Structures are given as C-alpha cells and as structure tokens.
Amino acid sequence: MVRKLLLEKAHLEGIRGYDVYRREGGYRSVEKALGEMTPDQVTDEVKKSGLRGRGGAGFPTGMKWSFIAKPEGVPRHLVCNADESEPGTFKDRYLMEFLPHLLIEGLIVSSYALGSHVTYIYVRGEYSWVIDILETAIGEAKANGWIGNNILGKGFDLEIYVHRGAGAYICGEETALLESLEGKRGLPRIKPPFPAVKGVWDRPTVVNNVETLAAVVPIILIGGEEYAKIGVGKSTGTKLISTCGNINKPGVYEIDMTISVEDFIYSEEYCGGIPNGKKLKACIPGGSSVPILPANLLLKTVKGEKRLMNYESLADGGFVKGSMMGSGGFIVLDEDQCVVKHTLTLARFYRHESCGQCSPCREGTGWMEKILRNIDTGKGKMSDIDLLWDIQRRIEGNTICPLGDAAAWPVAAAIRHFRDEFEWHVLNPEESQKRNYGLAHYADPLEPAVAAV
Amino acid sequence: MAEEKKLFKVTIDNIAIEVEPGTSILNAARRIGGEVAPPAMCYYSTLKGSGGKCRTCLVEVAAGSTADQRPMPKLVASCRTNVMDGMIVKNVTSEKVLDARKGIVEFLLINHPLDCPICDQAGECSLQDLSYQHGTEGTRYEFKRRTFEKHDIGPYIQLHMTRCILCYRCVYVADQLTNRREHGILDRADHSEIATYIHKALENDFIGNVIDVCPVGALTDKTFRFKNRVWFLKPLDAHRNCLKCSGKVTLWNRGEEVFRVTARKDQWGEVKDFICNECRFEKKKTADWVIEGPTRIDRHSVISGNHYVDIVEPKEIMPEVMGGRNPKLLMDINQVSEVNRKDIDLSEIPGPAHSEDFEKENS
C-alpha cells in the first residue's frame, strides 16, 4: 500500500470541520514550525524534501521560496493558486472540499516561512461552494487562534483572505492571477520582473498551487529528508492524480510516483481498467495542455522501459515521444474516441480562454479551431493538416504567457501521433460523420529504440 | 563631477554598440537604425507600460551577457527586454526571428479587413509597412473575417474595430494623457474589442491623440474622413500659441487648404509632443498657424514617395550586418540581358533608346 500523506484522513466523517480535524492531529505542523523552527529552517525543510510545484510546471518549491526578494519595509505576500481550470484536473477541488483545514494549515506554515502577513487564496469562480467551505474553515481557524494576531503567542500575525475569480482560465497563470487579485483585467504580465521581486501591488510575492501548500504540512511533520525518501529521483513525495475518461473508477488518487502507468490504469486500487472490455487508445497524462500519447508510447518509453507515473518518466522522450506530468489531470481515451473531435474540443477551449493580449495566441487559437472544425465536419483538406502544424509551430514559444504553448502542444501531439486519423477524416468525409476511426496501431508494441550514434 | 556611468556593450546583428544600462534591446537597435531595428506595432516610447503584446519585435538572444553566456531559450520581445553587458542579439541575421515574424504578420492579417483602398490610414499605416516588409503575398486563411457591431464614439474620432490589432496604445493614451479613460478593451480572446462600456463618446481633451498612436486605421480623424489620400497632401511643420499643449503640429495641406492637423512624428512614427483636441480638430485654417516649413520625412513609407523635399535616405546597413559582404542580387540584369549593358548609360542617350545605339557601341 502506498503511504498517504494528504488524503489519509479524507474519508473520516466531519474532517471538514475544525473539531475532528484537530482531534486527528491537525495543526500540529503549525505548532512545530512556529514553536521550534525559524522561517529559514522551514524553507530548508521544504528544500530538502525536493517538493516540486504541483500546479503543472514542477518547479522546486523550496527554490522558489528562496528567490523571494526581502527589501526592508515592504510587505511580502503568499498567494495560493486555487484557480484550477485545466480540463481534466480537479485534484485541488477535492482537497479544498474535503480537507479545507489541511490547506489552511499549509498556508499558515508557508506564510510563516515567507514572512507573509496577508495571504490570499485565489479560488476559481465556478467553485462557488468551495469558497463557502474555505471561508467557514478560516473562520473556525481564526476562532481557535490559528489565524490572527500573535499566533500561539509567538508574535506572528497572519490574515488569510479568499478571493473569488470570475471564471477565466487565464487567471491560473500566476501574473494574470495577480492582476486579477488587484482588481484588474486578468492579463498576464510581461516577465521580468518576476512575482518574487514584484508581484501583487509590486510587492514580493510567491504563488503556489493548493496541493503544493498542503504538502508542506506532512513535510514539516515528518521532516524533509523523510519526505524525500518517498518516490523516486527528483519526483519526491506523493502526488494527487485526478483521473477521468474511459476508466472504471474515475476520481482523485494519491500515488507515490513509483507506480507504472499500466498498473495505474488497470489495477483495481486505482482506475480499475477500461470499461466494456475496450482497448486503450490514448491518454493525456497531465491535464489538457500536455501532449497526448498513444497507448504504446504511454505504457513503454522508446527505450522499452515501463513508463512510471512521475515527472521524469512521463517526460522521457521529450515532446516527440513523451509527455509531461503537468497538473495531474489523467484523461484516458478508449478505442471508440475520436482524436480529431477531441483536439477540436481542446482547441475550442483555448480559443475561448485566450486573453487576447498578444497576437499569436489571440489569432492563432481561433484559426486552429476553425480548421479543426472543418476537418471534423468532413470539409477538411490534406493541406489543412500541414497548415495546422505550421500555425501551432508559430504560436509556440512566441507568446507572453504559457497559454500559447498550452494551446499549441495538444494540436502538435495529436498530429504527430494520430496523423493517419486526421487523413482518414479528410479522405472519407462522409464516413467520418457516421463512425469513428477507431483503434489503428496505437496499441501495438513499440519498435526497439535505435541506439544514438 | 558625477561618476561616469558604465555603459553596456551589446552586439546586434554583428554591429556593436554601447548603451546605458536599462536600455531595451529595441531602443539599442534603433540607435543603430535601418533594418537592424525590429518593427514595433504596440510599443510606443512615450507611453509607459506599452509593448510586449504584438510580438513583431521578437529577437533571438544568442548570448545573455558576458557573465552568463547562455542563449535565451525563447525569442524575446525586444521592446520589453533590457540589454545586458556583452549581450549578443540576432534580428535580421536569425532565420528563427524572420520566420516567427512572418507568422506574426500572418496572424495580424487573418482578421484584418484589408480595406486599404477606402482606409484613411493607408499610406501611413504601420501594418501596411510591416506586411510589405515581412509578409507573404498570399493568405492561407479561408474563413470569414471577424466583424464587430459598430460603435459611435463621438464627433471627432471614427472607430473601425475590424481594423484593430489590439495594441492597447489608445488605452494607455487615455490613461496617461487624459483625466479620465472612457474606453477600454471589452471581452476576451479573438472577440475582444476596443469600446466604451455603455455607448459613450470620447470627449476628453487630448483624447485625439489616440488617432496618432493607432498603428492602423482603427481610430481615424472624423474631420478628415474620406477627404483626401495622405500622399496627395503636403505636410508642413507649424505652430501656434496654445495654452493646453506645445502647439507644435504638422499641417497636412493641399494648396492653402488645411485638411488635417496631427502631432509631429519622429522617424519611428512616434509622437513626442502630444497635442490637444483644439489644435487638432478646431484650427483648420492656415491663418491659425505659423508655418515653419515643409516637414522632414525620414520614414520609409508611401507618403515619403517621390515628391517631397528634404527626404533623408536611410543609411545602407546590410553590408555591415553581413560582415562586409554586399547582399546577393537575385538577378544581375547585365548578365541576363544583351540589351542592358553596363557601359551604356541609358540616361546619356538622347531620346528613346534603339537597338542601333547598342550596336554602335559594340563595334
């Protein structure tokens, strides 16, 4: 059995409330951090743990914390990014909904480490009931002396505010989030300066994902070195994976990053296999922005090794033969799913969510959607496939924020791995409206990798 | 004596230049001039916070600085990236940059109506210049172009949203020059538009400057609408005593008639001294102005064609960029044509040239 650090107590009745949470050992990390440790020691523990940002990019959290500028007399802020809007990702919602106090506990410890006296939780607007849960939990924590002035008599003051977003995917990008938090249009800022130097209201700011901040709690409790022993290589600790699509048991799972992708999909403990005896066609392992992988490349890397559910292994093979851990939104497609339609759905999403600030993303995402719609409805041309490739190539890397890349990668990967399916749609326009292309050779074993010369 | 500031040495397209710390790559490149200066559609030196949006000024940074020689992984917006000591930048010498720029021009044009024949901006339009320089001759876009509901934004300014490239310059003008901004960007993604929130007119003093900063024909002068093509007009520097602004303007005349008044633009098409609405819209008589003389045009644009005085030829910079070599001619006319011979100067022949003229010289 995998050791659970975050969701261990999630099933307990009443854990959402303060009393049960505290009885089960809640807020011990605050007592430990504020009582026995200096802020720098907390940061050191997080550094030792090797914790990587759980929002998608996987940047080492301890390092991010140590980058924060500390000018005299300027307040610093911690902002919790709970604007989880990536299609396929819903782990943060689960965490906030069932264990709101775990997040608040993590926030208190992290704020202490960073010296933030006013900390914000920026919640996605669509999570309206989660906002109520969080505010209730903050009220309970405040009533019991965990938030407020002079916490535990240690002279540390902290206020936590919940800020409700207005329903824009782009506000999950950290600088757009900060703009939105300031009450402006959620447009990504041009970096540099980075938030660690000039963040919200031009003050040094750290923006972390919900799961990252919650993971600080077990790190303080068991110690950074102990935490780092879980997992493999640079993928330390446990990771929440939200699974959906054609699987028997969709939901949120906590894994320790040593499990193989194959076991994760087919084991009874996790996804429980694919329903109706269907075959696996493809999978997006880390939320809609990361490249889609056909079954053969998903289960084994090009070197013929088993692919594991962790940062390095999922990225093995780069963008051509691999994918990314991303935010942990695990979307499984069986043989009946149409990759063209699927890509169109994603392209439509990114067109709708582009902020419209910079030209490649604003114009390119709309163009890609229109071409994909043509192919999907049987009006496509062969040249459209190359055109799509060219458009995504010119969006990627040329935009202000990563949304441009996130819009380009799914299209690129779909064409790279499923070009025959696109071509079938173009060559069989009438048939493509009646049935799906189905499973080609996507589940065939990989050819043995050729040694690099 | 003040301590001498250390200058940063930066190499752009093989040309080295020393600039003050804090200078952007774009401004350093503009100091060199010519093709080395990247095109800019949204950056405006006199507007704080502008730039970074259109992505036409992307350049490749081949070496970050002397201390950190690593190249930057992505192309960077030169208008919003500051130079470092020892930085090596590639603009026209980088295939990647030229390809990306081609892509940007295509993106900017797919939803542009291309109604230049009826657009008042034609001839002094940055998007026209950009497409001539970096665009392709055809389009690969086969869909309906984007349209918007029409908004009337008052008696002075005409808004054509379909032409807009969303550079945000006009938003910065309203923020930084007027006392209240009444327009902004509404909506998101490719349907975002410049508009007032609930159909208001733009009437602030100085709001007329949005016309000058607009790189395309999205915001044009209503008092000049369809009156004349800009290249038929003669620009004259003029001034008047104005209590609100510097009063330094360019008059666009045909004979004695003043067709329009604009602020003075520099060689990068940017206004340094913004003018007030009164100077721009109300003073349309030559008698209102003290005329200084013809405007010096040193910008590559249709309006600088042929018949203006004081045209400054841009410096030929390509040989320097290419390390001393001259750009390769695609076709040397003397090699492929027997008619055109180097030793015969056509302008020396009185009247039309005949085959005899060439044969005579041959013998």
Average the pLDDT over B244-259 and give the result: 91
Q: Which residue of A has its CA nearest to B42?
A: A358
Count residue pairs from A and B with Cβ separation < 8 A. 91
Average pLDDT along chain A? 94
Question: Is the predicted pLDDT of residue B307 greater than 70, yes or no?
Answer: no
- Which pLDDT score is estimated for B309? 53
Give the pLDDT band (50/70/90) at residue B342. low
User: A318-376: per-residue pLDDT in tens?
Assistant: 888 999 999 999 999 999 999 999 999 999 999 999 999 999 999 999 999 999 999 99
**Chain A residues lying within 8 Å of B168, measured CB to CB:** 357
Instruction: Indicate the residue of A355, A360, A398 with minimum beta-carbon distance to B189.
Output: A355
User: A86-139: per-residue pLDDT in tens?
Assistant: 999 999 999 999 999 999 999 999 999 999 999 999 999 999 999 999 999 999
Tell me the fold of B8-104: Ubiquitin-like (UB roll) (3.10.20)
- Rounded to the nearest angstrom, the gap between the alpha carbon of residue B264 and the centroid of all alpha carbons in its chain is 14
d(CA B266, CA B279): 19
Q: Which amino acid is at A74?
A: V
Instruction: Indicate the residue of A352, A390, A400 with minimum beta-carbon distance to B189.
Output: A352
Give the pLDDT band (50/70/90) at residue A220. very high
User: B62-119: per-residue pLDDT in tens?
Assistant: 999 999 999 999 999 999 999 999 999 999 999 999 999 999 999 999 999 999 999 9
- What percentage of residues in chain A have a pLDDT greater than 70? 99
d(CA A344, CA A346): 5
Q: Which two tokens stand for residue B180?
A: 């209240």
Instruction: Indicate the residue of B80, B143, B165 with minimum beta-carbon distance to A359.
Output: B165
Lowest average pLDDT, out of A30-44, A110-124, B252-266, goes to B252-266
Question: Is the predicted pLDDT of residue B331 greater than 90, yes or no?
Answer: no
Q: Per-residue b/e over A321-358, b at no fewer than 16 CB within 10 Å?
A: bbbbbbbbbbbbbbbebbbbbbbbbbbbbbbbbbbbbb
Residues 6 or more apart whose Cβ sits within 8 Å of residue A95: A6, A7, A102, A103, A210, A211, A214, A240, A252
Q: Where are the domains of chain B?
A: 8-104, 111-138+149-304, 329-362
Q: Where are the domains of chain A?
A: 18-223, 235-334, 339-434
Contacting B residues, span 79-108, partner chain A, CB-CB under 8 Å: 80, 99-100, 103-104, 106-108
What's A235-334's CATH class?
alpha beta
CATH number corresponding to A18-223: 3.40.50.11540
Separation in Å, CA of B334 to nearest CA in chain A: 39
Handedness of CA A88, A91, A96, A98 (dihedral sign): positive
Of B9 and B34, the structure prediction assigns the larger pLDDT to B9
- Which pLDDT score is estimated for B325? 77
Average the pLDDT over B266-293 and give the result: 91
Average the pLDDT over A169-175 and give the result: 95
Candidates B106, B146, B168, B181: best to mutate against A (most CBs of A within 10 A) is B106
**Chain B residues lying within 8 Å of A360, measured CB to CB:** 55, 103-104, 107
Q: B55 and A399 in contact by Cβ < 8 A?
A: yes
Give the pLDDT band (50/70/90) at residue B133. confident
Lowest average pLDDT, out of A238-247, A408-417, B333-342, goes to B333-342
Q: Which two tokens stand for residue A337?
A: 């799913």
Angle at B114 between CA B111 and CA B120, to 5 degrees: 125
Pick among 1.10.3720.10, 1.20.1440.230, 3.40.640.10, 1.10.10.10: CATH of A339-434 = 1.20.1440.230
Handedness of CA B285, B290, B294, B299 (dihedral sign): negative
Q: Which two tokens stand for residue A22?
A: 């505290």
Q: Which two tokens stand for residue B175?
A: 């923020």
Average pLDDT along chain B? 86
Which among B111, B58, B51 is positioned nearest to A357, based on CA atoms? B51
Angle at B145 between CA B143 and CA B149, to 5 degrees: 140
- B189 vs A: CB within 8 A: yes
Q: How buried is residue B18: exposed, middle or buried, by Cβ count under 10 Å (0-12/13-18/19+)?
A: middle
- A188 vs B: CB within 8 A: no
Question: Is the predicted pLDDT of residue B297 greater than 80, yes or no?
Answer: no
Residues 6 or more apart whose Cβ sits within 8 Å of residue B324: none
Question: Is the predicted pLDDT of residue B303 greater than 80, yes or no?
Answer: no
Give the pLDDT band (50/70/90) at residue B151. confident
Which DSSP state fits B244? S
- What percentage of residues in chain A have a pLDDT greater than 90? 89
Question: Is the predicted pLDDT of residue B199 greater than 90, yes or no?
Answer: no
Report ipTM for this prediction. Answer: 0.91
- Which pLDDT score is estimated for B61? 95
- Which pLDDT score is estimated for A145? 95
